[in-house]
Structure 1
């Protein structure tokens, strides 16, 4: 530890961190640098202003079992309010920086300069391969140091406007390229995103959350309406719900910017309403109406900004009565093929639309400098009920992961009394109601078809299949149709039980047809079962060569025949031909108690109706969904 007096005010200052080169005097805000054994003044720096950060100097934590101490504090500003960066020194000699953004902390380590990287070549949304990793650029910006405290590794210059590029990689990896004043190769800082509990700082060493008391019960500068801000420490812009005035809150006080058009109807979720979603309690603090124009038609939607002190900000979007819950998503966790597909957590999201989103109306409070008329290139990738959404401007790109919610879920979560807006059309990420039961339909249909095959096999195996009659019948060449010469009577045969009857007929007509009328006569009751089948054979020659057309055998099933004694009478029909050179012969075969497959085909047809209808309804739903896509 090195101690000495501040060159400006004479107060004692000390260096406890071996890596520190300057220390900020806690009494006069002079930046004191070591010069050998002496101290020298490097000018003054602003005092730290209270923020909502829970970190503070001299807090001790552990990261991956390595102990560290927060020894320095910087506040930077890019014109939209300050943010905090903390300099940490590890017990093993390593140093790093902790920065905070919307409840997430980024612990980064200096990896040295990177030659050949130019600021102008880096744009939000683009991919960057650096230090053997793939990154997605999320933000390109600049800011200057406005305040400092504690010990720091290098001098600070409050007049220097430094440029930076932030990018994310898979599994929380984080990258910052510090370009300084743009005139040199960037310094590379690599680390990861962490939650507060992952910093390993005991609760007793965390600073109580600062509340901007003057903003908690602030009044509109235009109408004097009570605003009662819900997140005063995070709020940068406020839109008055009474008069529509847009107010700036960056300096801890409200200042008028411009008048805005107020929503034409009461909000579905009023500002200040609390609700429970995703296992946390949220409060609605802001409202946006945004829209896009496609082929000359304007499509508006609503976005409600929700806030939770420990989880930060999320969005609840309403479009034509369809609700989507949106949570921030690191761009580096998504593998993106622009306008084609996105891949996140082993799921493929198909691109649904790409539009220019315009902010039309604003109400409530916001953590960024929102303004009416701001534009962003918005893309939506869908894998119902989820979506990956990308909003990109010239300087920043943000990713969110959406989950479709039923209107009743939103109504119950926020205790809304008024009826929810009726849903219109199909939303991009709306679950297909017919697809959820599709698997069940196919499973049950498969089981029933399997049972059907088993039943058919059992019936086939247990059937007697007895041949009760097999007879060859000769029709004389000089026979005339309808005369006794064309008829034949079989010998009587016995059927021991009721059962199906299969009739098989075959013959050898030549260049003619032969019709067989059958009458199965019950000799006890004189009941008759009829059937009729035709045989034919034709052969000829034409310009294309020789041809044949034949039907030399056929079969049919009779309805179940009762037990009893039967005889078969067959009558042949044919074209009369006194010059027929030879007799016609046909063979009749009766097989009793044989399965009829027609019932099987009918049952199988009925069983497949369900899956076909389910597939049609599911496909129809998807067709109507993707008909609204513009890519």
Structure 2
């Protein structure tokens, strides 16, 4: 028998339809018949039918049952799948049977993956408090290790497939809490049973897991789904299976897809459309990865110290089938490319101005409130106009760190500044590169000194600007990146983007 192959296989007829139901893991207690969707529980050598499972939500995942891979030195096989939902979306947990007889969970959420195993003895021995004890954004210790509470959601099981180590009651709400450490560890606490179950994990990539037997997703993902806009009747095509919101290209209405295409589609009208510099659907090569622009949002912010001053910036949602999602941010300070982090940075004791993540110390640049003003394209979270978060931006040289907090979730994003010329070149629009230039493009001459003519030109420009400022005190941040002359704020906005479901990656 080949190394890493299944060492045992237990198969009995389904009590619902008679088709074979197989168990590859000795720790699996439940299964869903692949033929009739009967939910069965194993008691010794006997299977008992306890109900019928809902159909799977097609999430266009590249993963599927019986795909296999390598985690560390252990081979594993995906033998079951649980799909959960919460108010802002869905995520999937794959039951992985390892070749040593133990089990693990591969969590999948919008192109991000976390491989988790049952928590070690120090966490298991800790008296886990009720879910209400965990306040999003707070720091706490579990099993002697410090974590930040990043998500506290009420969730429910919406579907399942294959063999499972546990099976919450279908549609019954329960709490799910996630905590993250500054070294990238994720601690999940599942309150779906009488005794809370804890697991720990870390972020992984599909390439790292060396997976084989993946699903061929190209046909479904490229075909997309189409329906008529509930406001104007124009055709709207959804390209990504995970999308929860999309904007109509004809009337700019923002359409809620969270209930599926077959459900009643809620929509909200959007006025004052903002034209993105990079067209939706554009392909670009950034930092060695091929990205496609699938969404665009313009956001506004204000500081607690000066709520009357508003500033604006833009975020492009990028997608890659293997890497998931990233954000290309266009702010006053320049362009940046960021991704949601798995871990939560550690704040310096007694110093809220500093944060440390993966060994790098960042300095706080700005704290502010952010609001979504305009949306185009499609998004993997249920984005709405007027959506608000509390943000903090940190920096260490060209490296960036940003947090966004809502009522039930805290999301961190990390990345770096990139040159405006590189952005224009990546999307093959060098002819418009002047439109991309921000504060990262210095007007200083290449020579060691500054010529007399240059000084005169600078003086003339300053005089013109002063004349203009005497006639106009502000611009409209709803349609451009700007700030009033009363503020010395240098940061143009969030380095990251709101990441619904980030607590479940």
> What TM-score comes out, normalization by structure 2 length?
0.78
The answer for the alignment partner of 1:602 in structure 2 is: none
**What is the 5 A alignment of 1:140-539?**
140-180=152-192, 186-202=196-212, 205-209=213-217, 211=220, 215-229=224-238, 231-253=239-261, 256-294=265-303, 295=306, 296-320=308-332, 322-335=334-347, 339-416=352-429, 417-418=431-432, 420-421=434-435
User: CA distance change for structure 1 residues 156 and 379 in 2, over 3 Å: closer, same or farther?
Assistant: closer
Other-structure match for 1:66:
74
Q: Tell me the distance in 2 between the aligned counterparts of 1:42 and 1:265.
A: 53
Superposed CA deviations along residues 34-79 of structure 1, whole A, max 9, x for unmatched, are 2344322211111323322222222332222222222222111224
2:95 is matched with which residue? 87
**Once the two structures are superposed, what CA deviation does each residue of 1:223-253 show, in whole Å capped at 9, x if it has no partner?**
3434444x42221100123201111233542
Secondary structure (helix, strand or coil) at the match of 2:425 reads: helix
Is 1:103 the counterpart of 2:111 in the alignment?
A: yes
Q: How far is 1:361 from its partner? A: 1.2
Deviation of the 1:365 alpha carbon: 0.5
Task: Give how far 1:401 is off.
Answer: 1.9
Structure-2 change in CA distance of 1:419 and 1:121 (3 Å): same
Counterpart for residue 489 of structure 1:
none
Other structure's SS at 2:207 match? helix
Moved more, 214-223 or 339-348: 214-223
- Is the alpha carbon distance of 1:367 and 1:353 closer, same or farther for their aligned partners in structure 2, counting shifts above 3 Å? same
- Please point out which of 17, 24, 34 is paired with 2:32: 24
Q: 1:149 to 1:224 in 2, by over 3 A?
A: same
Q: Which residue in the other structure is 2:503 paired with?
A: none
Distance apart, 1:146 and its partner CA:
1.7
Q: Distance in 2 between matches of 1:25 and 1:325?
A: 44
1:502 is aligned to none
Higher radius of gyration, 1 or 2: 1
**1:109-128 deviations in whole A, cap 9, x for unaligned?**
12347414231221233223
Which segment is superposed worse, 406-415 or 277-286?
406-415
CA contact (8 A) 1:172 1:193 kept: yes
The answer to whether the Cα contact below 8 Å between 2:283 and 2:292 also exists between their aligned partners in 1 is yes
Partner SS for 2:344? helix
Contact 2:373/2:385 (CA < 8 Å) preserved in 1?
A: yes
- By how many angstroms is 1:197 displaced? 2.0
* Structure 2 residue runs without a partner (length 5+): 1-8, 450-484, 492-505
Query: Residues of 2 paired with 1:149 and 1:265: CA distance?
Result: 43
Return the offset for 1:360. Answer: 1.3
Task: Deviation per CA, 1:128-175: give whole Å up to 9, x if none.
Answer: 322333322222213222211211123441032121112223443221
**C-alpha displacement of 1:215:** 3.5
Paired residue for 1:480?
A: none
Distance 1:137 1:41 in 2: 38
Give the conservation status (yes or no) of the 8 Å contact 2:185–2:343: no
| CA–CA separation in structure 2 for the residues paired with 1:261 and 1:156 | 40
Q: Please name the residue that 1:546 is paired with.
A: none
Quick one: distance in 2 between partners of 1:13 and 1:385? 55
Residue equivalent to 2:452:
none
Which moves more between the two structures, 276-285 or 369-378?
276-285
Other-structure match for 1:8: 16
CA offset digits 1:559-592 (Å, max 9, x no partner): xxxxxxxxxxxxxxxxxxxxxxxxxxxxxxxxxx
Provide the C-alpha distance between the structure 1 equivalents of 2:433 and 2:71, rounded to a whole number of angstroms. Answer: 50
Q: 1:124 aligns with which of 136, 159, 180?
A: 136
User: 1-side partners of 2:72 and 2:201: how far apart?
Assistant: 13
1:432 deviation in Å? 9.1
| Cα pair 2:252 2:273 within 8 Å, conserved | no
Q: What is the deviation of 1:371?
A: 0.7
Within 1, Cα distance between the matches of 2:354 and 2:400?
11
Shift of 1:420: 3.8
Of 49-58 and 112-121, more deviation after overlay is shown by 112-121
Shift of 1:267: 1.9
Whether the 8 Å CA contact 2:344–2:412 is kept in 1: the answer is no
Secondary structure of the structure 1 residue equivalent to 2:265: strand
Alignment coverage as a number of residue pairs: 436
Higher relative contact order structure (alpha carbons within 8 Å, sequence separation ≥ 6)? 2
Native 8 Å contact 1:335 1:343 kept in 2: yes
CA distance in 2, matches of 1:130, 1:432: 48
Cross-structure match for 1:543? none
Structure 1 unaligned blocks of 5 or more: 442-623
Contact 1:164 1:178 in 2 (8 A): yes
- Relative distance call for 1:116 and 1:171 in structure 2 (3 A) is closer
Superposed displacement of residue 290, structure 1: 1.0
Question: Contact (CA 8 Å) 2:206, 2:322: kept in 1 or not?
Answer: no
Q: Distance in 2 between matches of 1:345 and 1:22?
A: 39
